[in-house]
Structure 1
Amino acid sequence: MFVLTTMARRGLLTPGNPVRITRQFAALGRWGFGLAGELRQAAARSPHRVAVVDEKGTVTYADLLARASRLTAALPFSPGDRVGLLRRNSASMIETLIAVTQLGADPVLINTGLSGPQLAGVIANQGLRALIHDDEFAEALPAVAEQGECVLLGETDIEKLVAGIAGARLRPPERPGRTIVLTSGTTGTPKGARRPTPGGFSPLCSIIDRIPLRAGVRVLISAPLFHTWGYAALQIALALRATIVLRRRFDAADALDTVARERCSALIGVPLMVQQIMEQPAREVPLSVTAVSGSALPGGLATRFMDRYGDILYNLYGSTEASWASIATPADLRAAPSTAGRPPHGTVVRVLDERGNPVPAGTPGRLFVGNEMLFEGYTNAGAGDTRDGLLAIGDVGHVDEAGRVFVDGRADDMIVSGGENVFPSEVENLLADLPQVREVAVIGVPDERYGQRLAAYVVAHPGAALDEDLIREHVRDHRARFCVPRDVVFLDALPRNATGKVLTRDLPRT
């Protein structure tokens, strides 16, 4: 009943051409609920609707399916091969991703911000048969070509392969391709996590029940498609037969212009993008949903954004391994701006102590998550820490009496300073509330006397009056003495990956 009710509320059960509706559900029955099936159901129901708008123009659903199918017929790979995709957000990226899965090969989504050594490590660790890349990355790839049997295919190479294919009628592969998403790799070489294929409408409905995206929505997906959240947004958009607006690179001013020009009512991004939008002059936009994920909302950003643009902000908390754990609605964020929200339908979040026992409300512990979209294990490691079918998400947090989830910090980020447990994220969020602070990162560093101590890396707004003493005084006024950072380093910008996460390994050590 939940699924049918949610689909009706979001416009997925509206009447239409009986023949097209029959073909729509037949496509799902034959191809399943992966990207290939979702594209086919959209093309069957709404073939002439614009599927993608990018810098090169527009593509209808019928054309997107035809182009992806021609590419599938042209690709010189076999089912089960792993094919890396090093591409920015574009219609071509979507075509390539779907083409590889239709073949029965496994696409490996690669962060466009990886360094050369990291990229070489991914190719070796994932055993890539090929790497399909945008031409802009060609100059950085000669050394990568030496990695075993990995074949490099640029945009021109792909065009040549497809040129000889007039059309293609495909059958579902015996083994559907499984998408592999890399973990963030902020501290080392990323790991590959195998994403499950949805078994029906329930995962979609779990999300759109809390985030009110409707069928046919025009949505700007600014989150990178290689990221778990960007990939999930693509899955949702295809299921909703949405018009997907893409830009290869994110720029806050351009994003606001694009939303207005393309009449987008939804924006999918990461918290850093919302922060950068807030640095632009306020303007009228047609947005009714802004949904973010990928990292914590810093300080009072949620409240400031909603004060300017209305109560349209939604924050999905999850991970590459767990997909999602909770979703904060505008009402949740108004009531408790630092909350990660509540578990959506079909999801369980438990807070357990070190022995695996539940803890009382308000008591910190390890966060464990259960839903039908837990990952299927790492490609070159184990399946993660589980308790009674629930997966450890890697964070320490608590749940309040109202059932709202709060993330206190990464389990491996907690430091012990002079015998006191300290979560750097707590101090980080406190400093982010200072109006002079543009961005901040707080980490633990070794200390000969106390074992560990906090170091704060601060980026101030231009012209802001800010010094080390003010930073320390602000923390001292609001937290215990052991939370005061002994090291305060001012930077022009924090080192971040393409999804906005701070690369702690690249922060200078004092």
Structure 2
Amino acid sequence: MSENNPYYPTYGEALSAFAKQTPDQIALRFGDRTTDYKSYDLHATQIANGLAAMGLSKGDRIAYFGKNSDRSVELAMGAARAGMVFIPIIWRLAPKEVEFILNDSGAGVLFVEPEFADQLPFSGNKILTDESFDNWRDAQATTPVTTPVGAQDALLQLYTSGTTGLPKGVVLSHHNGTHFRPLMKEHNIYWYCADHGDSMIFAMPYGHIAGVGTALGAVLGGQELIIHREFDPALMISDVEKYRVKWLFIVPAALGIMLAHPDAAKADFSSVKGLTYGASPIPLDMLKEGVERLKCDFAQLYGLTETFGTVISLPPEDHKPENIKGREHVMKSAGKPMPGVEVRIMDEDLNPLPAGQTGEVAIRSGCVMLGYWNRPEENEKALIGDGWFRTGDAGMVDEEGYLYIQDRIKDMIISGGENVYPAQVESALYGHPDIADIAVIGIPDEKWGEAVKAVVVAKPGSELTEAGVIAYAKEQIAGFKCPKSVDFIEALPRNPSGKILRRELRAPYWEGRERAV
């Protein structure tokens, strides 16, 4: 790699490099607190030494439960420097779900925000991420960490909602993330590799790859990361102006909320160079409004937790109004493979299909995960050899190389950027004494893209209500997974083998629409 396009095999090496190059540059902003690169590097070393002082060693799991903060970002980098594996847990999960993750991962220590501390059953070391975290960190040794950490060592373990109801820990290496930036620079994918010193806002949930991946990715380019505890449209608008922010990442639902905010009408977005979005395609009307108001480049990103995020992108040139006319269909695609990424469409026997035919999307890239934690059978299904990973998405590649996601083989619902698996919601609701049968589907929602709907068969003689079903769900699972509405029917449609015909249930709600999945 060139001097202007360095490759750092690990995130710790990248942090050390920028601490030497630009020690006084702001690395992290969170509210009134700022941390320069020299301090960021020192804190990562202290955290690594503090974890080792607890008796933890390379490969051990470090869990965090809370929202975005500068402390949680430092914690991830400290774990990385120690050769340990960081597990940020989605704070919106129900206590039962969090308990499963903590037990499954075998985490040796749990860092938790004070507001959540009493909710979580955990018998091991627990440290609150308030001022006591600063006191703990600052009391640790500043001597250099001698643990050898390599590119192929595990870095993250992120839990995805399981299609069978149990979450799976996706294990990602340093290399899965670090190898990508030099490729992007080499091919001028400027919307995915901000320059040294550029400012960017981080507001996506930390427990998602779009969250923790963004936070870690800023280190590879020596950027200034402006951390928002969670998405706040007024704060985002204000900070764009205050800090002359160059880069934004957001889901379409959140973009719509930001553009509709009263402060947006008079906001100065002139510093913004690019906006990337993911989780779902952007409606054309929203794109036109966004381009008109922000006057910046837009790019769509498609990826999975298992691929360390983005592997496909619809580039800015395909979003420009002058290029869209007559090619509106391209806006319904996920885009084209990023450099170093191969896409294959496969039939049921895993044979490659030609352009224009629909099958399962498979990805081959240096981004593909090490595997699922302690899930040998799942790994055998998903990692099919020669570097290929089965995504579980059904799609088609056209003659120009654009990938179109047709549906989700796994039936996943995306609501406001959050992944919801019907099987998990169904499993939670089956315990209700008045439910005889149930199916969960995604239906159109103008604000969130999709909303969760339960289709219920009530037991004879019961007086089950929509409110009762929703209330029961809220006791079992995270609020964003709970049904927003409930239909009652006499029997669920099934095929001869007994499989629920979800397409038949979805059809009335998606009639006349091209389903945006």
With the shorter chain as reference, the TM-score category is 0.7 to 0.9
Aligned to 2:287: 302
Aligned to 1:196: 173
The answer as to 2:453 corresponding to 1:456 is no
For residue 329 of structure 1, report the CA deviation from its aligned partner. 1.2
Instruction: For 1:203 and 1:247, locate their aligned partners in 2 and report how far apart those are by CA, in whole Å.
Output: 25
The answer as to 2:56 corresponding to 1:78 is yes
For residue 204 of structure 1, report the CA deviation from its aligned partner. 1.0
Instruction: For 1:99 and 1:56, locate their aligned partners in 2 and report how far apart those are by CA, in whole Å.
Output: 22
Paired residue secondary structure (1:216) = coil
Aligned to 2:335: 341
The answer as to 2:48 corresponding to 1:62 is no
Aligned to 2:140: 165
**Matched letter for residue 164 of structure 1:** A
Aligned to 1:35: 11
Aligned to 1:243: 224
Is the alpha carbon distance of 1:508 and 1:206 closer, same or farther for their aligned partners in structure 2, counting shifts above 3 Å?
farther
**Matched letter for residue 379 of structure 1:** W
Instruction: For 2:84 and 2:24, locate their aligned partners in 1 and report how far apart those are by CA, in whole Å.
Output: 29
**Matched letter for residue 404 of structure 1:** Y
Identity percentage of aligned residues = 21
The partner residue of 2:245 within 236, 261, 264 is 264
Aligned to 1:469: none
Paired residue secondary structure (2:371) = coil
**Matched letter for residue 255 of structure 2:** V
Paired residue secondary structure (2:301) = strand
Is the alpha carbon distance of 1:234 and 1:206 closer, same or farther for their aligned partners in structure 2, counting shifts above 3 Å?
farther
Paired residue secondary structure (1:89) = coil
Paired residue secondary structure (1:326) = strand
Deviations 1:370-424 (A, max 9, x none): 101100111131324244431111111111221111111211229xxxxxxxxx9
**Matched letter for residue 257 of structure 1:** S
**Matched letter for residue 304 of structure 2:** S
Query: Which segment is superposed worse, 372-381 or 157-166?
Result: 157-166
Is the alpha carbon distance of 1:123 and 1:57 closer, same or farther for their aligned partners in structure 2, counting shifts above 3 Å?
same
Aligned to 1:472: none
Deviations 1:27-64 (A, max 9, x none): x7xxx522211111111111111111111421100011
For residue 310 of structure 1, report the CA deviation from its aligned partner. 2.8
Instruction: For 1:200 and 1:215, locate their aligned partners in 2 and report how far apart those are by CA, in whole Å.
Output: 17
CA contact (8 A) 1:368 1:393 kept: yes
Deviations 1:294-347 (A, max 9, x none): x11253343442243235211210101123331111222444222111001110
Paired residue secondary structure (1:245) = strand
Aligned to 1:376: 370
Aligned to 1:403: 401
The answer as to 2:363 corresponding to 1:385 is no
Which consecutive unaligned segments of at least 5 residues does structure 2 have?
427-437, 449-465, 488-517
Aligned to 1:359: 353
Any residues of structure 2 matched to 1:98-497 within 5 Å, and which? Answer: 98-141=77-120, 144-145=121-122, 149-155=123-129, 156-165=131-140, 167-173=142-148, 178-184=155-161, 188-198=165-175, 202-207=179-184, 209-212=188-191, 213-280=194-261, 281-282=264-265, 283-285=267-269, 286-293=271-278, 295-300=279-284, 301-323=286-308, 324-333=310-319, 334=324, 335=327, 336-381=330-375, 382-383=378-379, 384-387=381-384, 388-413=386-411, 456=443, 458=445
Aligned to 1:435: none
CA contact (8 A) 1:349 1:367 kept: yes
CA contact (8 A) 2:110 2:125 kept: yes
For residue 264 of structure 1, report the CA deviation from its aligned partner. 0.5
Aligned to 2:486: 509
Is the alpha carbon distance of 1:460 and 1:62 closer, same or farther for their aligned partners in structure 2, counting shifts above 3 Å?
closer
Paired residue secondary structure (1:296) = coil
CA contact (8 A) 1:38 1:235 kept: no
Aligned to 2:74: 95
CA contact (8 A) 1:187 1:503 kept: no
Deviations 1:225-278 (A, max 9, x none): 332122332333111111111111211121111111111111123333222222
CA contact (8 A) 2:26 2:36 kept: yes
Instruction: For 2:176 and 2:87, locate their aligned partners in 1 and report how far apart those are by CA, in whole Å.
Output: 21
**Matched letter for residue 150 of structure 1:** G
Paired residue secondary structure (2:340) = coil
Paired residue secondary structure (2:255) = helix
CA contact (8 A) 2:251 2:280 kept: no
**Matched letter for residue 349 of structure 2:** R
For residue 508 of structure 1, report the CA deviation from its aligned partner. 3.7
Is the alpha carbon distance of 1:307 and 1:173 closer, same or farther for their aligned partners in structure 2, counting shifts above 3 Å?
same
Query: Which segment is superposed worse, 233-242 or 391-400?
Result: 233-242
CA contact (8 A) 1:311 1:330 kept: no
Is the alpha carbon distance of 1:159 and 1:228 closer, same or farther for their aligned partners in structure 2, counting shifts above 3 Å?
same
Instruction: For 1:132 and 1:350, locate their aligned partners in 2 and report how far apart those are by CA, in whole Å.
Output: 40
For residue 504 of structure 1, report the CA deviation from its aligned partner. 4.9
The CA RMSD over aligned residues, in Å, is 3.6
**Matched letter for residue 153 of structure 1:** I
Instruction: For 2:165 and 2:30, locate their aligned partners in 1 and report how far apart those are by CA, in whole Å.
Output: 33
For residue 109 of structure 1, report the CA deviation from its aligned partner. 1.6
Instruction: For 2:230 and 2:111, locate their aligned partners in 1 and report how far apart those are by CA, in whole Å.
Output: 19
Aligned to 1:476: none
Instruction: For 1:275 and 1:392, locate their aligned partners in 2 and report how far apart those are by CA, in whole Å.
Output: 32
**Matched letter for residue 62 of structure 1:** K
CA contact (8 A) 1:78 1:103 kept: no
Paired residue secondary structure (1:360) = coil
CA contact (8 A) 1:394 1:410 kept: yes
CA contact (8 A) 1:130 1:150 kept: yes
For residue 455 of structure 1, report the CA deviation from its aligned partner. 6.8
**Matched letter for residue 205 of structure 1:** P
CA contact (8 A) 1:351 1:365 kept: yes
